Amino acid sequence: MTVAIRPAGPADLPLIAELIRALADYEKLAHEVRFDAAVLGEKLFGARPYAEVLIGEIDGAAQGFALFFHNFSTFEGKPGIYLEDLFVRPEARGSGLGKALLARLAALAIERDCARLEWSVLDWNEPAIGFYKGLGARLMDDWTVMRVDGPALDRLGAQPRVSAD
């Protein structure tokens, strides 16, 4: 068995879309998948990419992916890598592919002089939490994720701007 990790390219867009949908099914969130494939492609591979994708393969067949982007730590004064999505097809779990994807992300973080690699995990996903802890990750119990989206984002964005003059 050969495990390989490679950067995704524009030709991988249908595969990426398929893997995102498979991840959403696993997380019981398929009803929240709303992306337009053309827009996704532009945001990943256009003039200003907002995220990057690694494809994980076993014996040449794509079996998983990691979608990530850079964030920034003001306390560290350095960028970090935020892993938005990590998914390995059920039939490929236990093959070492998930670990290989995370190891490649850690290597990228080191190569890019990042202070950290971080991600969120659903609190019910005990297999993933155990897997991550086994790699040395730690839960950030003192932090809570906050989100503004949909109509609340529209309302907040429509607030009057304060002039800097």
Q: Determine the distance from the C-alpha atom of residue 120 to the mean position of all C-alpha atoms in its chain, rounded to a whole number.
A: 9
26 is catalytic: no
CB 78 within 8 A of CB 33: no
pLDDT of 164 over the 70 cut: no
Residue with tokens 């190569």: 111
CB 46 within 8 A of CB 9: no
Q: What is the pLDDT of residues 39-55, one digit of tens each?
A: 999 999 999 999 999 99
Which sequence spans correspond to the domains of the chain?
A: 3-157
pLDDT value, residue 165: 60
Amino acid letter for position 92: A
Instruction: State in words which class domain 3-157 has.
Output: alpha beta
Q: What is the pLDDT of residues 126-161, one digit of tens each?
A: 999 999 999 999 999 899 889 999 999 999 999 988
Helix (H) or strand (E) holding 159: none
CB 63 within 8 A of CB 56: yes
CB atoms within 10 A of CB 13: 18
Of the residues 26, 50, 82, 132, only one is catalytic, namely: 132
Helices H / strands E in the chain, number of each: 5, 5
How high is the mean pLDDT of the chain? 95
